[in-house]
Amino acid sequence: MQTFTQYVAGSNIDTSLKQLLHTLVNTSKEISKAVSHGALAGVLGETEQQNVQGETQKKLDIITNDMLKNALDNDLTVKGIASEEEDYVVAANENGQYLVCFDPLDGSSNIDINSLVGTIFSVLPATEDELTEASFLQKGCNQVAAGYVLYGPSTMLALTTGNGVQMFTLHPETNEFMLTEAQVAIPVDTKEFAINMSNQRFWQPAMQTYINDLIKGDTGVRQKNFNMRWIAAMVGDVHRVLSRGGIFTYPADTKNPKKPFKLRLMYEANPMALLVEQSGGLASTGYENILDIQPQEIHQRVAVILGSSNEVETCLNYHAL
C-alpha cells in the first residue's frame, strides 16, 4: 500500500504541482486534528462575523481558513488564493504558477453535532502576470487538480490531477495518507438520491416532477424503489456518490429570488464536477456542463446535478422537456 508521498513521487505530475499538493495535504492533516479535538479545544460554536455570502462564520470556519491561507502563502508555487471565507482574492507569491480556490470547511453547520465536514480545493494555472479576480475566472475544465478531504470516522482524501480519481485514507498511527483506491469508478446506475427535500415547493417544475417520480418508486414510471440520503454537507454527499454511486443535486429554487442557487461554482461545484467526471459520472446545472461555465465572479453560485451517469442523464431529460 503506497503512501501519498510515494504515489506523488512515482507519478508524472509536474514538480511544482507535487509541492502544492503536499502543502494542501499536510495542512489537511492539521485541520483533521483541529476538527477531532472539537469542544476539548474550544473551537465549536459561532462567531459574530459573517462571510461575503452573508453566512454567520463558525469558529472553525475562520481557524481552518487561516490555516490554509498561511500554508499556501508560504508555498512559492502559489500566486493567489480565493476562499469562501475571503471577500476578495488574496495575493501570495508573485512568481507562483498556480491559483488555489477552496472551501476550508464545507458543511460547517454540521460541526456542532459532530457530523461530516470537509475541505474542498481546486487548482488552476496562473496565466497572467498581474493577480486580479479576473485571473481566477477560468472554466472548470482548466483545473490542473481538484479534491477534497473528508473529516469523518476516517479522514479521507479524494484527488484528481486529470488521470482518474485516487482515494487515500489517513493512517491514525503514522499520520500518513495511504492509497486505498487507485481508480474510483462511479456505477452508471443507482437507487439513491440526495436532495434537500425541505425546498421541494420552491423547485422548478422539471425537478419537482423528477423527484416525485423517484419517490413513487416501483409504483411509478421509474418502476424501481429509490432511497434518499442527505448529509447536509456537499463533501459528504459527493463522497457517497464516489464510493457507491447515486445522484446529488442542489437545484435552483425560488425561496430567495436574489439567491436562486446555493453552491459556489469556483470552490465547490467545479472541483466536485471534475472528480465526478474523472470517475465516470456526469455533472450539470440541468442545462449545461458545469465544467464549461465561464465564471463571472469568484463567489458565483450555480445549480448542481451530479453523479451516476445514467441517472443524471435521466434527470436532464426531465429538464429538456
Please state, in angstroms and as integers, the Cα–Cα distance from residue 256 to each residue in 53, 202, 260, following that order: 13, 9, 6
Q: Are strands 247-250 and 192-194 parallel, antiparallel or unpaired?
A: parallel
Question: 41 pLDDT exceeds 80?
Answer: no
Interatomic CA distance for residues 253 and 262, integer angstroms: 9
Domain made up of 192-320: CATH architecture = 3-Layer(aba) Sandwich (3.40)
Average pLDDT (270-283) is: 98
E strand intervals along 92-165: 98-106, 117-125, 145-151, 155-160
Q: Order of strands, edge to edge, in the sheet holding 282-284?
A: 227-228, 192-194, 247-250, 304-307, 282-284
C-alpha cell at 76: 512559492
pLDDT score at 48: 64
Residue range 4-181, CATH number: 3.30.540.10
Distance between CA atoms of residues 101 and 73, nearest Å: 13
Measured CA to CA, the distance from residue 314 to residue 161 in angstroms comes to 29
Annotated binding residues for Mg(2+), as ranges? 84, 103, 105-106, 268
For the segment 214-218, the average pLDDT, to the nearest whole number, is 98
Burial class (CB in 10 A: 0-12, 13-18, 19+), 1: exposed
Q: What phi and psi values does residue 209 have, to the nearest 5 degrees?
A: -65, -45
Question: What is the residue extent of each domain of the chain?
Answer: 4-181, 192-320
Alpha carbon distance 306, 200 (integer Å): 18
Binding-site residues: 84, 103, 105-109, 196, 262, 268
What pLDDT does residue 49 have? 78
Confidence of residue 54 (pLDDT cuts 50, 70, 90): low
Q: What is the structure's pLDDT at 94?
A: 95
pLDDT digits (tens, 9 = 90+) for 56-112: 677 888 999 999 999 999 999 999 999 999 999 999 999 999 999 999 999 988 888
pLDDT at 321: 78
Edge-to-edge strand list for the sheet holding 166-170: 90-91, 78-83, 98-106, 117-125, 145-151, 155-160, 166-170, 177-181
Cα distances (Å, whole numbers) of residue 216 to 174, 219, 227 = 48, 6, 11
- Which residues carry a binding-site annotation for substrate? 106-109, 196, 262
- Amino acid letter for position 263: L
pLDDT for 45: 73
Q: Residue 57: its pLDDT value, please?
A: 75
Contact 160, 185 (CB under 8 A): no
Alpha-carbon distances, residue 3 vs 31, 148, 163 (angstroms):
19, 17, 18
Average pLDDT, integer, range 243-266: 96
Residue pLDDT, tens place only, 117-163: 999 999 999 999 999 999 999 999 999 999 999 999 999 999 999 99
Residues 53, 205 contacting (CB under 8 angstroms): no
**Residue type present at position 218:** D
Give strand pairing partners of 178.
3, 169
- Determine the average pLDDT of the residues in 237-251: 98
Q: What per-residue confidence (pLDDT) applies to 125?
A: 98
